[in-house]
Amino acid sequence: QKEVEQNSGPLSVPEGAIASLNCTYSDRGSQSFFWYRQYSGKSPELIMFIYSNGDKEDGRFTAQLNKASQYVSLLIRDSQPSDSATYLCAVNPSPSSNYKLTFGKGTLLTVNP
Amino acid sequence: NAGVMQNPRHLVRRRGQEARLRCSPMKGHSHVYWYRQLPEEGLKFMVYLQKENIIDESGMPKERFSAEFPKEGPSILRIQQVVRGDSAAYFCASSPAGINSPLHFGNGTRLTVT
């Protein structure tokens, strides 16, 4: 069974620090990887996606992918209280489509002022 | 530009009743995807539809659940004879023709079965 594992947290960091969120996946053939942010009671919001090994940066966010280790991470620099949310890692095993994602249960991040 | 619109936002049903959840895709999008998020669980894929066609329903429970996306109007996820275990948040996403775009979800419908 294909699985995506995340530490449920809570992960607590002080404002201004770097928050590091980690995700491992079981399907070695997975092709694309997504990070979603979900505030309590709200919908998941796409914040990053990455397809190739290495780093991808977008503003304060950096996604890191290591397919050999089946590991994907999200770094949030200069963390703000508004970043406090649950972060969902999602993995797509298919090379031809992005719709059938396998989600982890999420990591709750708390940024303390 | 309106995003994916779902309604109702909250739906309460008694056991045995029917629940109908609606999803209007983004303008110009002809592909719709339904996901379910059970309490303390990750989102799980349910079904992928194009206009008038079910493309992939591998995530749908075998009984009581059905989905449609008619030529006109929103996509409907229908749950017959609801049970307490159906209580969850149901999210819809859409994409244009071509299914390699990352998914953007609507605000969801939170179903509570009493």
pLDDT for B103 equals 84
Q: Which tens digit of pLDDT belongs to each residue from A4-61?
A: 999 888 999 999 999 999 999 999 889 899 999 999 989 999 999 999 999 999 999 9
A102 chain-B contacts, CB cut-off 8 A: 42, 45
Are B91 and A44 in contact by the 8 Å Cβ rule? The answer is yes
The Cα of B23 is separated from the nearest Cα of chain A by a number of Å equal to 14
B110 chain-A contacts, CB cut-off 8 A: 41
Q: Which tens digit of pLDDT belongs to each residue from A75-111?
A: 999 999 999 999 999 999 877 777 889 999 999 999 9
CA dist B3 and B23 (Å) reads: 11
Burial class of residue A17 (count of CB atoms within 10 Å of its CB; 0-12, 13-18, 19+): middle
The interface residues of chain B toward chain A in range 3-62, judged by CB-CB distance below 8 A, are 31, 33, 40-45, 48, 56, 58-59
Coil, helix or strand for B102? coil
DSSP, res B26? P
A21 touches B at CB < 8 Å: no
Strands (E) in A39-84, as ranges, are 45-50, 54-58, 61-66, 71-76
CA dist B66 and B95 (Å) reads: 20
Place of tokens 């998941």: A44
Indicate yes or no: CB of A97 within 8 angstroms of CB of B91: no
